[in-house]
């Protein structure tokens, strides 16, 4: 078959001055070109889900090159099959003319139709390539969804240009953020119950949304809390003075200062020295190390009335140094090796020890004063301590064992640890100057925490004195304090929750809740024993609404104690039970008591795990203090 279109080219071989001509002819119908273009548009590579604009432009370029290569290959094959190399003088002249112009495209004599069809075919290729490029630009500019057909597949896959935006999203986690907003909207749309103002109910909706956001963690905890304060202020629920009122509270600042002291404790190496000493004595097993920390904290509890200071300033640095020395560090992904178990156990038992003595938690004297005003009975330090002794000891002994089963450490036994600890102590040598300064600052701080009340020095002032010594001496720097992210994050979210929870009480929500519980329990006509259990459970688990034990006691202790006495419960037992459980109920959340934020902020335990363990252990604590406590109090003659 005679070719309809001829491309004449040449190549010169300089060393022999011989010329060789190659004739390439292309004979293709417009239909075949359109089929090629359509098949190329149907290329399944275009349906890729991750079609970024740069990839789309690359594919468009590849399609154009593929078409050109296909045309050239067809031309060469057809020319080799159908043409002869011209040898006469006319062909030689045409060859020289082509050499001067670089290339010549001309129709063969008598075949004008072929030239017209080839020009139309070239136009079809250009149109197809232009359409692909235009489609790519449109997707990039609009970010819309484009359906791409796949050859042989009836339902074509969909390539979403907008999916790249979601994949590269740098903001909040959208699903947890949706849960937080939805929980607040549901409460907001529910009408306020009788006796509750609209302002209090709407603030509860914001508070619950904030708590859900802190649990699901769409953003860091401090960011979630600030958003909650922002919504409260924007909607007029809280003025600025109310929203940021808790930033003048002692507890959040005491927790932040405890983080700063902990940094110096670890930086100087004093923490490692003490940790190695403990390991050398009790380090044959993780359980032994944990018990040493648990009972050390319990022994110091009656002497240090601030739980936040005792847990955050003393035992958090010690526990963290111990875990790091044993190779368990969340920064290295080894938190489950030992640290997660130790941190959880020491925190849980700190809520027990704070409930065993009047002086172990700052709010316990408030319970004593409120009980005296209602019952006329003043609980002495010895009555409280002896009454809590047996159930408290049982909880202190059993909690590490229970968690050892439910939340076990990866490393349980280390028989060589004491020997290695002795070797590390030998390597450390004598105490450095920084260690001695750190020891002096810590001793002064702890001393003021124990005896400072006699001189009018509070817990925050004591911690600031210790920090001042470390800053002036250069043991730690202010830049290091600013870089202590968990301290500032804890300060923000804890203060925000205290503010919102406090104004729930101010706006009348908590008193209305207490009054409703009193009415329901009184109307049931139950004996005092089942009424006692119901009231205790409601009082205990309502602590999810509080970020402070003192706030919970001030808002609900008097009302619930009055209900128990009205139901016929023994006054001293009722007052003592509610007073002890006002500490223990802090085990449920990461914000419910002063020791929770620093231990949670160490980063060893995920938030969901923290809450699950807290709820499970709360059942054990209630059963122990009621099941063992009542017979013990009967023996003591408390009822």
Residue 229 covered by a domain: yes
Residue 453 covered by a domain: yes
User: Band of the pLDDT at 166, cuts 50, 70, 90?
Assistant: low
Residue 521 has pLDDT above 50, yes or no: yes
Question: What is the predicted pLDDT for the residue at 117?
Answer: 57
Q: Are 224 and 271 part of one and the same domain? A: no
Which contiguous run of DSSP H or E holds residue 21?
Answer: strand 18-25
DSSP-derived secondary structure for 224-290: HHHHHHHHHHHTTSS-HHHHTGGGGSHHHHHHHHHHHHHHHHHHTSHHHHHHHHHHHHHTTBHHHHH
Q: Which domain holds residue 206?
A: 174-243
Question: What is the predicted pLDDT for the residue at 118?
Answer: 58
Return the beta strands (E) in 517-575 as ranges: none
Residue bearing the bigger pLDDT, 286 or 139: 286
DSSP-derived secondary structure for 60-72: HHHHHHHHHHHHH
Q: pTM (2 decimals)?
A: 0.57
- Highest mean pLDDT of the ranges 33-42, 249-258, 526-535, 607-616: 607-616
What lies within 8 Å, CB to CB, of 257 at 6+ separation is 313, 460, 463, 464, 467
Q: Which two tokens stand for residue 535?
A: 């009231």
CB 197 within 8 A of CB 207: no
Where among 135, 150, 167 does a domain terminate? 167
Question: What is the predicted pLDDT for the residue at 23?
Answer: 38
Distance, CA of 348 to CA of 9 (rounded, Å): 89
Number of other residues whose CB lies within 10 A of the CB of residue 209: 24
Residue 263 covered by a domain: yes
Q: What is the mean pLDDT of residues 4-22?
A: 41
Residue 46 covered by a domain: yes
Residue 469 has pLDDT above 90, yes or no: yes
Where among 133, 167, 201 does a domain terminate? 167
Where among 145, 167, 189 does a domain terminate? 167
Question: What is the predicted pLDDT for the residue at 160?
Answer: 54
Q: How many distinct structural domains can be found in the chain?
A: 3
User: Band of the pLDDT at 426, cuts 50, 70, 90?
Assistant: confident
Q: Are 156 and 206 part of one and the same domain? A: no
Q: What is the mean pLDDT of residues 485-501?
A: 84
Q: Are 116 and 218 part of one and the same domain? A: no
Residue 582 has pLDDT above 60, yes or no: yes
Residue 174 has pLDDT above 80, yes or no: yes
Query: SS3 of 169, please?
Result: coil
Q: What is the pLDDT of residues 315-370, one digit of tens each?
A: 888 888 888 878 888 888 898 998 899 999 999 999 999 999 887 887 788 788 88
Q: Are 525 and 626 part of one and the same domain? A: yes
User: Band of the pLDDT at 229, cuts 50, 70, 90?
Assistant: very high
DSSP 587: G
Q: Are 68 and 148 part of one and the same domain? A: yes
Q: Are 97 and 195 part of one and the same domain? A: no
By CB neighbour count within 10 A (0-12 exposed, 13-18 middle, 19+ buried), where does 194 fall? Answer: exposed
Residue count of the chain, please give it. 639
Q: Are 256 and 230 part of one and the same domain? A: no
Distance, CA of 90 to CA of 92 (rounded, Å): 5
User: Band of the pLDDT at 544, cuts 50, 70, 90?
Assistant: confident
Question: What is the predicted pLDDT for the residue at 164?
Answer: 65
Question: What is the predicted pLDDT for the residue at 186?
Answer: 94
Which contiguous run of DSSP H or E holds residue 9?
Answer: strand 6-13
Three-class HEC string of 322-339: HHHHCCCCHHHCCHHHCH
Residue bearing the bigger pLDDT, 405 or 74: 405
Q: CA of 367: how far to CAs of 312, 379, 579, 581, 634, in Å?
A: 24, 9, 6, 11, 22
Q: Are 484 and 420 part of one and the same domain? A: yes
Q: Are 238 and 252 part of one and the same domain? A: no
Residue 1 covered by a domain: no
Q: Are 115 and 178 part of one and the same domain? A: no
Query: SS3 of 168, please?
Result: coil
Q: Are 392 and 292 part of one and the same domain? A: yes
Residue 267 covered by a domain: yes
Question: What is the predicted pLDDT for the residue at 13?
Answer: 42
Q: What is the pLDDT of residues 231-280, one digit of tens each?
A: 999 999 999 999 999 888 887 888 788 778 878 877 888 877 877 787 78
**Alpha-helical regions (H) of 355-432:** 364-375, 381-406, 417-428
Residue 287 has pLDDT above 50, yes or no: yes
- By 3-state DSSP, what share of the chain in percent is helix, strand and coil, each rounded to 5? 75, 5, 25
Question: What is the predicted pLDDT for the residue at 45?
Answer: 46
Q: Are 304 and 319 part of one and the same domain? A: yes
Residue 436 covered by a domain: yes
Tell me the average pLDDT of the chain: 77
Residue bearing the bigger pLDDT, 594 or 390: 390
Residue 500 has pLDDT above 60, yes or no: yes
């Amino acid at each position: 078959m005679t070719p309809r279109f001829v491309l004449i080219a040449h190549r010169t071989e300089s060393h022999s001055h011989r010329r060789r001509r190659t004739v390439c002819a292309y004979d293709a119908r417009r239909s075949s070109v359109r089929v090629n273009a359509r098949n190329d548009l149907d290329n399944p590579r275009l349906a890729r889900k991750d079609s970024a604009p740069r990839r789309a432009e690359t594919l468009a370029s590849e399609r154009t090159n593929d078409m050109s290569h296909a045309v050239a290959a067809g031309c060469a094959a057809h020319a080799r099959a159908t043409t002869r190399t011209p040898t006469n003088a006319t062909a030689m002249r045409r060859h020289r003319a082509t050499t001067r112009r670089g290339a010549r495209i001309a129709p063969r004599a008598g075949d004008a139709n072929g030239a017209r069809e080839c020009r139309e075919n070239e136009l079809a290729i250009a149109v197809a390539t232009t359409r692909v490029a235009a489609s790519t630009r449109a997707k990039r500019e609009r970010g819309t969804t484009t359906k791409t057909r796949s050859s042989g597949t009836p339902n074509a896959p969909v390539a979403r240009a907008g999916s790249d935006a979601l994949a590269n999203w740098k903001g909040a986690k959208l699903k947890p953020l949706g849960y937080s907003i939805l929980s607040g909207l549901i409460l907001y749309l529910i009408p306020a119950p009788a006796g509750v103002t609209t302002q209090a109910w709407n603030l509860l909706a914001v508070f619950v949304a904030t708590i859900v956001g802190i649990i699901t963690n769409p953003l860091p905890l401090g960011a979630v809390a600030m958003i909650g304060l922002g919504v409260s202020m924007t909607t007029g629920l809280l003025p600025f003075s109310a929203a940021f009122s808790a930033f003048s509270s002692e507890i959040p600042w005491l927790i932040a200062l405890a983080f700063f002291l902990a940094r110096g404790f670890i930086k100087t190496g004093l923490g490692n020295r003490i940790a190695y000493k403990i390991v050398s004595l009790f380090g044959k097993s993780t359980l032994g190390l944990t018990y040493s920390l648990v009972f050390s904290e319990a022994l110091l509890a009656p002497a240090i009335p601030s739980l936040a200071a005792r847990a955050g300033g003393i035992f958090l640095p010690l526990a963290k140094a111990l875990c790091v020395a044993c190779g368990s560090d969340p920064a290295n992904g080894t938190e489950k090796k030992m640290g997660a178990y130790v941190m959880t156990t020491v925190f849980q038992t700190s809520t027990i020890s704070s409930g065993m003595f009047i002086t172990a938690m700052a709010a316990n004297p408030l319970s004593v004063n409120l009980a005296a005003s209602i019952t006329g009975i003043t609980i002495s330090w010895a009555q409280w301590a002896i009454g809590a002794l047996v159930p408290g000891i049982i909880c202190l002994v059993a909690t590490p064992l229970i968690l050892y089963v439910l939340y076990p450490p990866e490393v349980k036994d280390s028989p060589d640890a004491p020997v290695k600890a002795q070797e590390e102590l030998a390597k450390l040598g004598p105490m450095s100057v920084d260690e001695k300064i750190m020891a002096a600052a810590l001793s002064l701080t702890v001393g003021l925490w124990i005896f400072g009340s006699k001189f009018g020095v509070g817990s925050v002032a004591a911690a600031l004195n210790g920090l001042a010594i470390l800053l002036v001496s250069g043991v730690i720097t202010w830049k290091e304090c600013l870089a202590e992210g968990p301290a500032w994050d804890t300060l923000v979210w804890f203060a925000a929750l205290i503010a919102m929870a406090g104004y729930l009480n101010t706006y009348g929500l908590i008193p209305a809740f207490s009054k409703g519980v009193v009415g329901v329990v009184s109307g049931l006509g139950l004996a005092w024993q089942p009424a006692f259990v119901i009231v205790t459970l409601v009082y205990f688990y309502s602590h999810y609404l509080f970020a402070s034990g003192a706030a919970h006691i001030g808002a609900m202790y008097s009302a619930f104690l009055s209900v128990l006495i009205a139901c016929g419960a023994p006054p001293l037992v009722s007052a003592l039970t509610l007073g002890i459980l006002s500490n223990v109920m802090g085990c449920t959340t990461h914000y419910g008591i002063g020791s929770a934020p620093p231990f949670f902020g160490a980063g060893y335990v995920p938030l969901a795990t923290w809450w699950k363990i807290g709820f499970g252990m709360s059942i054990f604590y209630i059963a122990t203090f009621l099941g063992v406590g009542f017979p013990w109090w009967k023996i003591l003659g408390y009822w």
